[in-house]
Amino acid sequence: GAVVSQHPSRVICKSGTSVKIECRSLDFQATTMFWYRQFPKQSLMLMATSNEGSKATYEQGVEKDKFLINHASLTLSTLTVTSAHPEDSSFYICSASDSYEQYFGPGTRLTVT
């Protein structure tokens, strides 16, 4: 099946700093990429939908100025958590779609101290 990678797998940062997470589709060109956030023992919550070359579409309640998404190519999307705070600590998972199925990355565990 299709492979999606994420980098880094774990990151610890200090409150007030910014963190960038990369999501890559390794063996296919993704028409759309998605970013999810998952708090402990909870479900995956969609944050935004990202299409190559256009602005991301954010879900209600997700601050677009805080969670910056750049989708520069059909194989790479990045999520930058700006001015991170402890409440942003979570498991961030991306997925890439080939219009038939979504393929998930391995996730990034963000801890903000």
Residues at the contact surface with other proteins, assessed by CB under 8 A: 31-32, 34, 42-46, 49, 60, 91, 93, 95, 97, 99, 101-102, 104-107, 109
Residue 19 beta carbon to other proteins: minimum distance, rounded to whole angstroms: 18
How would you list the strands of the sheet with 19-25, edge to edge?
Answer: 4-7, 19-25, 76-81, 67-73
Residue 52 beta carbon to other proteins: minimum distance, rounded to whole angstroms: 14
Question: CA gyration radius for the chain?
Answer: 13
Q: Which is nearer to other proteins, 34 or 67 (CB)?
A: 34
Q: Which is nearer to other proteins, 31 or 82 (CB)?
A: 31
How many other C-beta atoms lie within 10 A of the C-beta of residue 113? Answer: 10
Q: Nearest Cα to 10, choosing from 89, 68, 75, 103?
A: 89
Residue 97 beta carbon to other proteins: minimum distance, rounded to whole angstroms: 5
- Report the C-alpha gap between 78 and 109 in whole angstroms: 15
Q: Which is nearer to other proteins, 84 or 93 (CB)?
A: 93
